[in-house]
Amino acid sequence: MGQRKKKYQSGEGSKYVTRQAALRMLQLTLKNFRSLCILKGIYPREPHNRKKAQRGTPGIKILYNKKDIQFLMHEPIIWKLRDVKIFARKSGRARALRDFKAVRRHIDNHPVLTLDHIVKERYPTFIDAIRDLDDCLTLCFLFSSFPSLKHVPRDQSALCRRLTVEFMHAVIVSKALRKVFVSIKGYYYQAEIKGQTVTWIVPHHFSFEPQARADVDFKVMSTFVEFYTVVLGFVNFRLYHSLNLYYPPKFPNYSDDIEKDLADEEVYVAERIAALNVSLIRTKEEDQEEEDNAVDEFPDANFLNSLVISPHARVVEFDLEAILDKVGSTDDPEKLEKIKLELERVRALKTLFQGLKFYLNREVPREPLVFIIRCFGGEVSWDRLIFVGATYEEDDKSITHHIIDRPSLSTCIPHSTASYYLFGLYALNLNRKERWSDQVNTICWYYIQPQWVFDSVNARQRLPVETYMIGAILPPHLSPFIDESRDQYIPPEEKLLRDPSLQLEKPFTGDGDDDVLSNVDLGEEETLDKTEDTMLDEKDKEYITSESDDEETEVKEDLELEISSKEKAREEKKKHMAVTVGTLVQEDPREKTRLEKQEYRLREKMIPKKHRRLYKSMMAGRMKRNKEAWLLGKKRKRYEEEEMLKRKAQKKEAIKAALASVDAQEL
């Protein structure tokens, strides 16, 4: 007799364990268990059959995969967590006994958790770490703006600040930034690093507001940040060495910095690196020239096969990997041409602001604009009293753009030069020309709002500055993250930006049918006529021989008359024969759409049963997106109609006021 199977010893009941059972297996507290699961990347699971997975117990319990818990049992950090528990007990006992020497000894021997082996385990290659860098950067940028909180120590915030600034320097040197967007959440950035797309959010620089309710578990978030700081440190180290930069970053010492002798050296270095306006020292100076030469050379024939990338031209390699991931296989010559065009566009984007010098006013957010401008080859400076790292003053003659976020110009320019600046800005056309003043030895530049920088990056070209002047009504700030393949609403401004030909009405050019019909060979009709004649002659001969001799003469006469009449009719027909333009059969569009819908319904009925539910959910999502796009389009149309009515009303009021003034003058 076979052994009887016990209940829940196999199947769904043996795959999962509850959290309480996992704590007993690992002999850890709930706090340490949560930290361990976050560091190792283990999360609760949702079983297919909760009743069997919970072994018949009612309610909803947190379940983990049993193999994951067995995997955690071999983690060496568990011993460190136990050592921390022992340290807390011993130091607490010594503190209670007021044995301060023992307390100091325990603090000096505090156990430290090393997470290097976990990073190597979760990310075997450098590309794997970059793929998972989105959440890491977003959380590190968020914690870098926090003050010292209960579960967020000051050292952790300072470490996040240092690592994020180092990462931004790596993006600036590699010129890897591709898209930017400003929203109420913060600044969205997207970069291409090692062929991988990395997107992160940087919050706005507002003062921290502590919340009365503990809606956010800062302890859990702090554990995530503890792991992410180690990951970001590894990534920065690899990026800096791949770009031939020293890590930790070094910058050239300037002799004109007077405050260097007065400040701490570490603070001095950290402040100037945080300014994002200092070029870092490279390990080899000649590498920059080789990199520039490698970026500018593109072979014409056999493009991808002959593209030899030197170890110093890593920027080209990153762009090529990213474009190959988007386009796909490179066997098709059309795809090769697309890759070449995309590489040229990216190369032009990297030098978008090259040769331009910007000056930031006091009210403008400094860090995001400096980061964006320097990523695309521009130079930027600001008032020295705001932050360290300013490279030139406001009265520099080579400044091309002055970024101001104020409604008027007179509030931010000295009165001695305000009249000249206003004249140079609005006189003649708004095209920039070097206009010199006799009284003030100053050159004129553009006064623009910050949105011009963001929109120019997303458009991959320098947009006209007329619509971004001070006090002007700005165009809508469009998101560059809209996917054209999905059913999303695309504003008309973005459609016009993507395809400038939409504003022009293309004349209809139909292909004429006269040329086609005129080239028809008429030899076929002539041969048909000849075959008909021969067939008739043979039939007539057979008919003549079949008749009797008595009626032969009569039949001959009749046949001659008949043949002569047929020949005359045929000759008349040939005279009037000509090729005429045929009439096209016009299809009924309603009937065509009805047939297409009918065929589509028939194809839907042929979907297998196991795929039918997935298909229905996909179609429901598509319908939802289409409805949202339709509602947004309707809202935009209603807004435009309201604006048009407002303009008409304003025009009528202006006409009435003008007529009233004329009548008053006449009286």
Distances from the Cα of 60 to the Cα of 44, 56, 102, angstroms: 12, 11, 47
User: Are 193 and 174 contacting, i.e. CB atoms less than 8 angstroms apart?
Assistant: yes
CA dihedral 636, 639, 640, 644 (to 10 degrees): 170
Helix axes 314-327, 154-174, angle to 10 degrees: 90
| Residue type present at position 125 | T
Name the residue with tokens 């090259």. Answer: 354
* Residues 6+ positions from 323 with CB-CB distance below 8 Å: 339, 342, 343, 346
The answer to pTM > 0.75 is no
Domain chopping of the chain, boundaries: 12-108, 116-206+217-254+261-274, 287-350, 357-481, 486-503+604-667
pLDDT of residue 49: 87
pLDDT of residue 320: 55
Distances from the Cα of 156 to the Cα of 142, 225, 568, angstroms: 12, 8, 109
Distances from the Cα of 258 to the Cα of 175, 179, 266, 447, angstroms: 32, 38, 16, 32
The Cα angle at residue 443 between residues 441 and 444, in degrees rounded to 5 = 135
Rounded distance, CA 523 to CA 449, Å?
A: 74
Q: Residue 356, CB half-sphere, CA atoms under 13 Å: how many?
A: 23
Q: Is 389 exposed, middle or buried (0-12, 13-18, 19+ CB in 10 A)?
A: buried
CATH of 357-481, one of 3.40.50.10190, 3.30.2010.10, 3.50.50.60, 3.60.9.10: 3.40.50.10190
Under-50 pLDDT residues of the chain: 255-263, 286-317, 411, 414-443, 504-549
Rounded distance, CA 588 to CA 416, Å?
A: 74
pLDDT of residue 341: 84
Helix (H, G, I), strand (E, B) or coil at 420: helix
- 8-41 pLDDT, tens digit per residue, is 888 888 899 999 999 999 999 999 999 999 999 9
The sheet with strand 379-381 has its strands ordered as 379-381, 357-360, 401-403, 446-448
The secondary structure element, H or E, covering residue 402 is strand 401-403
Structure tokens at 496: 């016009």
Measured in residues, the chain has a length of: 667
pLDDT of residue 173: 93
Rounded distance, CA 526 to CA 497, Å?
A: 59
pLDDT of residue 525: 40
pLDDT of residue 489: 78
Q: Write b or e for each residue in 270-280: b if 16 or more Cβ atoms lie within 10 A of its Cβ, otherwise e.
A: eebbbbbbbeb
User: Are 200 and 235 contacting, i.e. CB atoms less than 8 angstroms apart?
Assistant: no
Rounded distance, CA 429 to CA 449, Å?
A: 19
pLDDT of residue 521: 40
Phi/psi at 210 (nearest 5 deg)? -70, 140
Helix axes 30-40, 218-242, angle to 10 degrees: 30
pLDDT of residue 665: 81
The secondary structure element, H or E, covering residue 379 is strand 379-381
Name the residue with tokens 């999303």. Answer: 488
